[in-house]
């Protein structure tokens, strides 16, 4: 036995044994090929098993009766009498493509080694051998190419690891003060850009070489690099809302229950209760312990359901890593911090992944509908669903998991169940799933939670919530118009977000049109893309609803943009690589500006955190803490015991406040909140907020500091470079 | 037993026991925080979903994440609304569920291995 045949035995042993087991008595092999299928694209329908699309080691045996193929998806068997013609062509990315004419149509096996495809086509064209059989031939295109292929794989892995190490090494040198109004991008050293270029090149290379496992690994590296970018820079946990969320969890842990009267968070406490439980299990002093890497963890957990959603449309296996890549580069909205919406978005993806994988496809039953709607529905519903293997326990088992995930969104977040309901209802209405009961159950659970668990919140806020229903003009103004402003650089960031979002949406629509015109599955993804756009009708959601619409539409955007990307990449490896790398660099540049454009106000120094903490140490219960804006590291302790307010509540007189009037107005706010002492806090981040977003109607932070210094009603108790605190002393002012 | 189905049982068992031991003995540390986060996000779900014999890792992780978060939320809400807030009891319930599922996976795997 030669070394070569030993290697063949080792590598292809299982596949060859499977072929041997299938041979009938007397059946003889005339040609045996074994190779690594770079990419499996099976077009046409030859057998029931049409999901022969996983790349990997594969062996074909041509016998005097049949063609037998063994691969990672199972076994393909075709009687020679069924093969009308066979042709070898140039396949995708320089591989071989075997086209078999069958009674049902043409079966295309793409991604084969070119030599294998030619040999098989030649042998099949000759038909069943006549007379004495020739000696069996063996062709292996893999053994010779195995070592260079392995070396290339190792090189790609090393490139990814080196790029990640370089990225974090150079970020360690970035200081918070280096970040200006354009955000993180202006503080990035050249080494960081080299690292990102390396990641883009590595991913493009992995995709071109059809090393899809390595491509997915690059996606993971990209998530760690991009979403962990602030970790080496931040001195303490960044983003003020994260501090508030830690405070809500802390309140639940300390009080041992929820008081729905505190605020909305305590009417949807599911996430915070679980976070409190995890904090206790970790023995941590605060839920902030989980905050730094939360965006990385969230985005890593989004990848599996997103991969399932991408796979549900079938076709080119490269669509999965490319969809994940697009998603990671396009998720700039920053809702993945330690928050209920971050976890609930993951559950949203899980439910849709299950529905599209096991319950997609034409729905039964036809209700009477207007003619046009009926035709549209029938067109959309006709498209077949994804063929997927049903796990042990059958569909009911996975349906239970999806149901649990859907119900878990209800007690944690106000908006996610709405979004999930919209998408599920649209999928049902358009015949893209036959799970009619799921949206119904979710509706019942959602209404039951509203009615029984949020009464105190709704009774106090129903009028305001109802007044926002259907106010599209107000929604557009608060979500877009009012956000375009602030410093020159910040205005650029806002425009970059608007342009990036519009371009991605247009690309997704083009991807949908391209898929549908090419006869590929797309309707379910189109529903995922468009259904969230009904959300703004409900409410402006604090001026953030368009951000959330984009987030909920992002799975659809990612699949369709990736699909268009693949179509544009063509079949030539170099062209494919250049297209992937070029678009990666464009999206990376856009991401760094759009995602981290506000980093200057997100980041807090040790000193400002210490200044704020000092107030929490000394404030008596019932005291009110007032800041110019909410962008400071506060609310993480004594959440319900102390009151928190910002100056946006001040009613500004025509002509604005003078310094004395401003101090009086702040004092009045303290007295209105009443019950204890009043503290006014200004920090480096609230000053940065002023500069970034523009001065508020009541005045600037600098003016506030001057007004408080000059007022006899406020005593400065802490004065540091990054933070100042005054305590209100109304009696002293009146003397 | 395929490779994709072999790892969840022992992994979850080890992780759940480590969380339990850390809760009894350990001091707070970055490693413990990471362990608890991983357990809460994937542990209980992986223990139960692993029984479905799913080979595909994407599917396995998707279902494990969805079920884990659902179970974490349910246990935490029961503690908040129905019983006294006893975090150790909540963690014990999640660990017990995970250990049960993981042991069931391991027993089934060993039975299948002995049949071959």
Report the DSSP beta bridge partners of residue A360.
A433
Q: Between B30-49 and B87-115, two packed helices, what is the crossing angle to 10 degrees?
A: 50
Residue A519 backbone dihedrals phi, psi, to 5 degrees: 75, 20
| Strand, coil or helix: B16 | helix
User: Are A278 and B72 inside 8 Å of each other by CB?
Assistant: yes
Residue A724 has pLDDT above 80, yes or no: yes
What value of ipTM does the predicted structure carry?
0.95
Residue A288: how many CB atoms within 10 A of its CB? 21
**Spatial distance between the Cα atoms of A511 and A520, rounded to a whole number of angstroms:** 11
User: Are B70 and A347 inside 8 Å of each other by CB?
Assistant: yes
The beta-strand segments (E) located in A226-371 are none
User: Are B69 and A346 inside 8 Å of each other by CB?
Assistant: yes
**Spatial distance between the Cα atoms of A306 and A534, rounded to a whole number of angstroms:** 22
Burial class (CB in 10 A: 0-12, 13-18, 19+), B58: buried
> How close is the nearest chain A Cα to the Cα of B23, in Å?
6
Specify the pLDDT at position A77: 77
Burial class (CB in 10 A: 0-12, 13-18, 19+), A502: exposed
Residue A413: how many CB atoms within 10 A of its CB? 23
Share above pLDDT 90 across residues of chain A, in percent, rounded to a whole number: 54
> How close is the nearest chain B Cα to the Cα of A219, in Å?
14
Using an 8 Å Cβ cutoff, are B79 and B103 in contact? no
> Over the stretch A380-399, which tens digit does the pLDDT of each residue have?
666 666 556 666 667 889 99
> Over the stretch A515-571, which tens digit does the pLDDT of each residue have?
988 877 788 999 999 999 999 886 666 667 888 999 999 999 999 999 998 887 666
Beta A624-627 vs A643-646: how paired, if at all? parallel
Length of chain A: 735
**Spatial distance between the Cα atoms of A91 and A97, rounded to a whole number of angstroms:** 4
> Taken in order A235, A241, A244, A246, is the CA torsion positive or negative?
negative
- Rg for chain A, CA atoms, rounded: 31
User: Are B80 and A257 inside 8 Å of each other by CB?
Assistant: yes
Identify which of A258, A269, A408 has the shortest CB distance to residue B69.
Answer: A408
Least confident range of A62-66, A223-227, A413-417, A589-593:
A62-66
Q: Determine the residue of chain A that is closest to B45 in CA distance.
A: A401
Residue A180 backbone dihedrals phi, psi, to 5 degrees: -110, -155
Burial A532-549 (b: 16+ CB within 10 A, else e): beebbebbbbeebbbbbb
Residues 6+ apart with CB under 8 A from A48: none
Using an 8 Å Cβ cutoff, are A676 and A639 in contact? no
| Strand, coil or helix: A676 | coil
Using an 8 Å Cβ cutoff, are A249 and A243 in contact? no
> Taken in order A311, A317, A321, A325, is the CA torsion positive or negative?
negative
Q: Does A311 touch chain B (CB under 8 A)?
A: yes
Q: Determine the residue of chain A that is closest to B90 in CA distance.
A: A277
**Spatial distance between the Cα atoms of A102 and A80, rounded to a whole number of angstroms:** 10
- Rg for chain B, CA atoms, rounded: 15
Least confident range of A75-84, A160-169, A701-710:
A75-84
Using an 8 Å Cβ cutoff, are A238 and A604 in contact? yes
Give the best residue of A260, A282, A303 to mutate against chain B (max B CB count within 10 A).
Answer: A282
Using an 8 Å Cβ cutoff, are A729 and A679 in contact? no
Task: Read off the tokens for A128.
Answer: 């069943």
User: Are B40 and A278 inside 8 Å of each other by CB?
Assistant: yes
Specify the pLDDT at position A123: 83
Specify the pLDDT at position A91: 62
Query: Dmax over Cα atoms in chain A, in whole Å?
Result: 120
Alpha helices in A410-471 (DSSP H): 416-429, 437-453, 455-468
- Residue B9 has, within 13 A of its CA and on its CB side, a CA count of 21
Residue A251 has pLDDT above 60, yes or no: yes
Residues 6+ apart with CB under 8 A from B97: B44, B47, B48, B71
Burial class (CB in 10 A: 0-12, 13-18, 19+), A94: middle
Using an 8 Å Cβ cutoff, are A346 and A359 in contact? no
**Spatial distance between the Cα atoms of A252 and A258, rounded to a whole number of angstroms:** 6
Q: What is the mean pLDDT of residues A631-648?
A: 94
Specify the pLDDT at position A572: 67
Q: Between A319-330 and A545-569, two packed helices, what is the crossing angle to 10 degrees?
A: 140
- For residue A420, the Cα-to-chain-centroid distance in whole angstroms is 15
pTM: 0.83
Identify which of B32, B56, B74 has the shortest CB distance to residue A282.
Answer: B32
CA angle A457, A461, A462 (to 5 degrees): 105
């Amino acid at each position: 036995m030669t070394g070569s045949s030993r290697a063949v035995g080792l590598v292809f042993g299982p596949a060859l044994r499977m072929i041997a087991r299938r041979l009938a008595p007397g059946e003889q092999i005339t040609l045996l090929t074994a190779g690594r299928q770079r990419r499996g694209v099976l077009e046409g329908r030859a057998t029931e098993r049409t999901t022969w699309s996983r790349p990997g080691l594969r062996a074909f045996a041509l016998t005097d009766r049949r063609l037998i193929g063994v691969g990672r998806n199972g076994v393909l068997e075709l009687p020679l009498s069924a093969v009308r013609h066979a042709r070898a062509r140039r396949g995708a990315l320089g591989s071989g493509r075997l086209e078999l004419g069958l009674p049902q149509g043409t079966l295309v096996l793409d991604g084969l080694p070119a030599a294998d495809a030619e040999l098989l086509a030649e042998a099949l064209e000759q038909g069943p051998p006549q007379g004495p059989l020739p000696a069996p031939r063996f062709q292996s295109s893999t053994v010779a190419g195995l070592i260079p292929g392995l070396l290339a794989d190792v090189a790609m892995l090393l490139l990814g690891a080196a790029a990640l190490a370089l990225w974090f090494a150079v970020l360690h040198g970035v200081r918070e003060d280096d970040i200006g109004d354009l955000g993180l991008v202006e503080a990035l050293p050249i080494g960081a850009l080299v690292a990102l270029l390396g990641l883009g090149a590595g991913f493009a290379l992995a995709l071109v070489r059809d090393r899809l496992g390595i491509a997915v690994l690059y996606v993971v590296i990209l998530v760690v690099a991009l979403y962990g970018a602030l970790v080496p820079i931040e001195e303490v946990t960044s983003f003020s809302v994260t501090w508030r969320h830690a405070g809500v969890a802390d309140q639940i842990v300390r009080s041992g229950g929820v008081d729905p009267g505190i605020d909305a968070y305590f009417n949807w406490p599911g996430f915070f209760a679980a976070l409190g439980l995890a904090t206790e299990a970790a023995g941590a002093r605060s839920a902030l312990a989980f905050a730094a890497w939360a965006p990385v963890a969230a985005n890593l957990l989004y990848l599996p359901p997103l991969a399932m959603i991408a796979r549900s449309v079938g076709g080119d296996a490269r669509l999965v890593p490319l969809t994940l890549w697009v998603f990671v580069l396009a998720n700039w909205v920053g809702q993945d911090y330690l928050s209920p919406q971050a976890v609930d978005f993951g559950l949203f993806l899980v439910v849709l992944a299950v529905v599209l994988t096991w319950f997609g496809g034409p729905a039964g039953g036809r209700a009477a509908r207007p003619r046009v709607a009926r035709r549209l529905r029938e067109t959309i519903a006709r498209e077949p669903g994804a063929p997927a293997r049903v796990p042990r326990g059958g569909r009911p088992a996975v349906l239970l998991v999806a149901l649990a995930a859907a119900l878990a969104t209800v007690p944690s977040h106000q908006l996610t169940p709405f979004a999930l309901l919209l998408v599920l209802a649209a999928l049902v209405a358009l015949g893209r799933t036959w799970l009619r009961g799921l949206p119904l159950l979710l509706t019942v659970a959602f209404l039951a939670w509203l009615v029984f668990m949020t009464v105190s919140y709704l009774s106090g806020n129903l009028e305001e919530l109802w007044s926002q229903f259907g106010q599209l003009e107000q929604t557009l103004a608060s979500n877009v118009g009012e956000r375009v402003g602030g410093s020159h650089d910040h205005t650029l960031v806002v425009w970059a977000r608007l342009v990036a979002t519009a371009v991605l949406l247009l690309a997704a629509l083009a991807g949908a049109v391209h898929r549908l015109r090419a006869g590929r599955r797309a309707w379910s993804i189109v529903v995922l893309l468009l259904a969230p756009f009904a959300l703004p009708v409900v409410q402006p959601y604090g001026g953030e609803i368009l951000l959330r619409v984009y987030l909920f539409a992002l799975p659809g955007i990612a699949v369709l943009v990736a699909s268009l990307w693949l179509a544009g990449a063509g079949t030539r490896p170099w062209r494919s690589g250049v297209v992937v790398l070029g678009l990666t660099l464009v999206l990376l540049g856009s991401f760094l500006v759009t995602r981290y454009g506000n980093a200057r106000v997100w980041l807090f120094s040790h000193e400002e955190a210490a200044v704020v903490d000092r107030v929490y140490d000394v404030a008596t219960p019932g005291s009110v803490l007032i800041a110019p804006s909410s962008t400071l590291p506060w609310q993480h302790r004594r959440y319900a015991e102390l009151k928190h307010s910002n100056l946006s509540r001040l009613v500004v007189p025509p002509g604005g406040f003078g310094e004395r009037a401003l101090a009086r107005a702040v004092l009045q706010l303290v007295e209105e909140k009443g019950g204890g002492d009043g503290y006014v806090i200004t920090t480096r981040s609230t000053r940065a907020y002023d500069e970034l977003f523009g001065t508020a109607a009541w005045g600037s932070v600098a003016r506030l500091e001057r007004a408080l210094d000059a007022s006899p009603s406020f005593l400065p108790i802490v004065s540091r470079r990054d933070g100042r605190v005054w305590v209100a002393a109304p009696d002293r002012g009146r003397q | 037993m395929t490779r994709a189905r072999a790892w969840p049982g022992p992994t979850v068992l080890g992780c759940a026991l480590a969380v339990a031991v850390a809760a009894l003995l350990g001091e707070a540390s970055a490693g413990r925080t990471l362990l608890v986060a991983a357990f809460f996000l994937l542990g209980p779900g992986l223990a139960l979903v692993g029984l479905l014999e799913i080979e595909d890792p994407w599917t396995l992780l998707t279902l494990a994440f969805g079920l884990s978060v659902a179970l974490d939320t349910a246990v935490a809400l029961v503690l908040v609304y129905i019983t006294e807030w006893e975090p150790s009891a909540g963690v014990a319930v999640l660990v017990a569920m995970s250990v049960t599922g993981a042991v069931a996976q391991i027993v089934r795997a060993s039975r299948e291995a002995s049949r071959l």
